[in-house]
Chain A
């Protein structure tokens, strides 16, 4: 797995940056590619450990079933959150046009 360093390309980094909405300069892409690659090779090293018989860990606490009851608590925050928004209209957040799909 020693060649794992080379498996991460600058294209991969650009794609990940794009998904995270980060604008990276060409220099930054060159800088981060080997850094992220070395993290991946660390993960690849862990992949080589025999974990036969171990359940995957989804949470480090080991706790399960933390619930609250279905009770309404009014926060009454409309005014204060609207006051902190850059722009509002009719108690709604006013944002740049969202193009594409309405989810």
Chain B
């Protein structure tokens, strides 16, 4: 576990580092809404999934959805948060997508307190809190230019109003756009793994706000930050952070200072713009919601939920690393959901290194999840036994995704068979004779010349054999001939 350290930003002038904290909102995968029995569903016709409670009609009272609390506890446990008594608070502000004129949230006593998230790269990012709240409705601005500031009027759909949300607030531990992206990807994997959210950024069920500031490299001060909203993809997130940090450095260079405010990312223009001036926390006039009583999840309930948690991405990566995978390839394979396949295939006696290599390099296809361990193991065993070269195995594997045929049948259809060593040696000699100049340079050159020419010879031989030769075997023969 590595705590964040000072890091010169590659995007900023010498002597500056970025300080980034993220607020991730995720809609919970419940059937019904947070406080009302209306359906929680994306993409329904406007104002069809509504109920008097989520429309904020007078005389209605909210009642907490137990499943939403369970999902939030699952997330809290996965992030190692302290889970305890929590209190619902009203966050007061006026906006048409908030029919009650307050959002029910958690303020001084959130369900999930401090925790942490370990990233695939080994960096550990602190979690400040993960509290529950309700989503707002959705307003669409209709105007001649379609731009928000010239809007003729707005249309409001309350289908999303009252959908259960968790807001996960990180500590300002991130130092680069790349780390921010890695954090969001890992957090998304965790939310999906525990079944609490579908984590779809493109449908808005996962939304990210970035708090960005800069400081002199090595300092531990926290300077004025700006909160960047409207980042709807990971690409926008990294671009917005980079832009905003540069903007801060430019201001300091001009002996000015950034103002603490909310800014909006404009994807098309590639810049952030000021939004509504940041309200102070006091301005939301939070107070405990008298309509809702506190929650005190019992230790028994929490333990029951803990026992039902599946393996988390981190544990899944670790089981691949136990087979010899690097942290990076374990991350790639887990991301593709191929870790169970890999483990089962190795369990069946297939060579772990070859299995991992195929999962990382040759199974990027979405259909890879349909591959079954017995056929995969049969292929890898043929490869290990020298019946297929690495190149041939790759070809066979690609076809295995298209059909139910066994690797042996596919190999036979292609006429793949192990090339006899003496046959291969003959071919190598022939190619060497045809390229005496290259051969001389191969024998006398340094490592880099040798590497390039090795590629040349392997290419020639592969061409002559239509890719049937084993690259490793060729390299071995070349090395033997050069040293003899």
Q: Which residues does A use to contact B, with CB under 8 Å?
A: 19, 21, 58-59, 61, 63-75, 77-78, 81-82, 89-103
Are B155's CB and A89's CB within 8 A? Answer: yes
- What's the Cα separation between A25 and B317 when bound, in Å? 65
| Binding site secondary structure of chain A | loop
Most buried by A among B52, B109, B154, B262: B154
Q: List 27 A-B contacts (CB under 8 A).
A: A58-B87, A58-B288, A61-B293, A64-B295, A66-B64, A67-B63, A68-B63, A69-B66, A70-B67, A72-B39, A74-B39, A77-B52, A77-B55, A78-B48, A81-B47, A90-B46, A92-B140, A93-B158, A94-B153, A94-B154, A97-B141, A97-B151, A98-B97, A98-B139, A101-B275, A101-B276, A103-B97
Q: Which residues of A contact B65 (CB under 8 A)?
A: 67-70
Q: Which residues of B contact A93 (CB under 8 A)?
A: 47, 96, 155-156, 158
Are A70's CB and B66's CB within 8 A? Answer: yes
Most buried by A among B30, B38, B98: B38
Q: Which residues of B contact A82 (CB under 8 A)?
A: 47
Q: Which residues of A contact B109 (CB under 8 A)?
A: 58
Q: Which residues of B contact A103 (CB under 8 A)?
A: 95, 97-98, 136
CB-based nearest B residue for A93: B156
Are A64's CB and B293's CB within 8 A? Answer: yes
User: Is the CB of B68 closer than 8 A to any CB of chain A?
Assistant: yes
A36 CB to nearest B CB, Å: 14
Partner of B32, one of A66, A72, A98: A72
Q: Which residues of A contact B95 (CB under 8 A)?
A: 98, 103
Interface residues on B, range: 35 or more
- What's the Cα separation between A70 and B230 when bound, in Å? 31
Q: Which residues of A contact B266 (CB under 8 A)?
A: none
Q: Which residues of A contact B262 (CB under 8 A)?
A: 101
Are B47's CB and A78's CB within 8 A? Answer: yes
User: Is the CB of B296 closer than 8 A to any CB of chain A?
Assistant: yes
B50-65 CB mask vs A (1 if < 8 Å, else 0) is: 1110010000000111
A19 CB to nearest B CB, Å: 6
New contact pairs (8) apart from A21-B94, A67-B63, A103-B95, CB-CB < 8 Å: A64-B294, A66-B63, A66-B292, A68-B37, A81-B47, A92-B155, A95-B96, A101-B275
- What's the Cα separation between A59 and B85 when bound, in Å? 13
CB-based nearest A residue for B96: A95
Partner of B69, one of A64, A67, A81: A67
CB-based nearest A residue for B30: A70
Q: Which residues of A contact B87 (CB under 8 A)?
A: 58-59
User: Is the CB of B425 closer than 8 A to any CB of chain A?
Assistant: no
- What's the Cα separation between A92 and B142 when bound, in Å? 12
Q: Which residues of B contact A100 (CB under 8 A)?
A: 148, 275-276
- What's the Cα separation between A68 and B55 when bound, in Å? 19
Q: Which residues of A contact B149 (CB under 8 A)?
A: 99
Pairs of residues from A and B, 3 with the lowest C-beta to C-beta distance, nearest first: A70-B67, A73-B37, A97-B151
CB-based nearest A residue for B103: A103
Q: Which residues of B contact A78 (CB under 8 A)?
A: 47-48, 50
User: Is the CB of B31 closer than 8 A to any CB of chain A?
Assistant: yes
User: Is the CB of B122 closer than 8 A to any CB of chain A?
Assistant: no
User: Is the CB of B285 closer than 8 A to any CB of chain A?
Assistant: yes
Partner of B50, one of A19, A59, A77: A77
- What's the Cα separation between A89 and B152 when bound, in Å? 13
Q: Which residues of B contact A77 (CB under 8 A)?
A: 50-52, 55
Partner of A68, one of B45, B64, B285: B64
Are A59's CB and B155's CB within 8 A? Answer: no
Using a CB-CB cutoff of 8 Å, which residues 267-289 of chain B contact chain A? 275-276, 283, 285, 288
Are B293's CB and A19's CB within 8 A? Answer: no
User: Is the CB of B229 closer than 8 A to any CB of chain A?
Assistant: yes
Using a CB-CB cutoff of 8 Å, which residues 65-87 of chain B contact chain A? 65-69, 85, 87
A59 CB to nearest B CB, Å: 5
B151 CB to nearest A CB, Å: 4
Q: Which residues of A contact B63 (CB under 8 A)?
A: 66-68
Are B151's CB and A59's CB within 8 A? Answer: no
Are B154's CB and A59's CB within 8 A? Answer: no
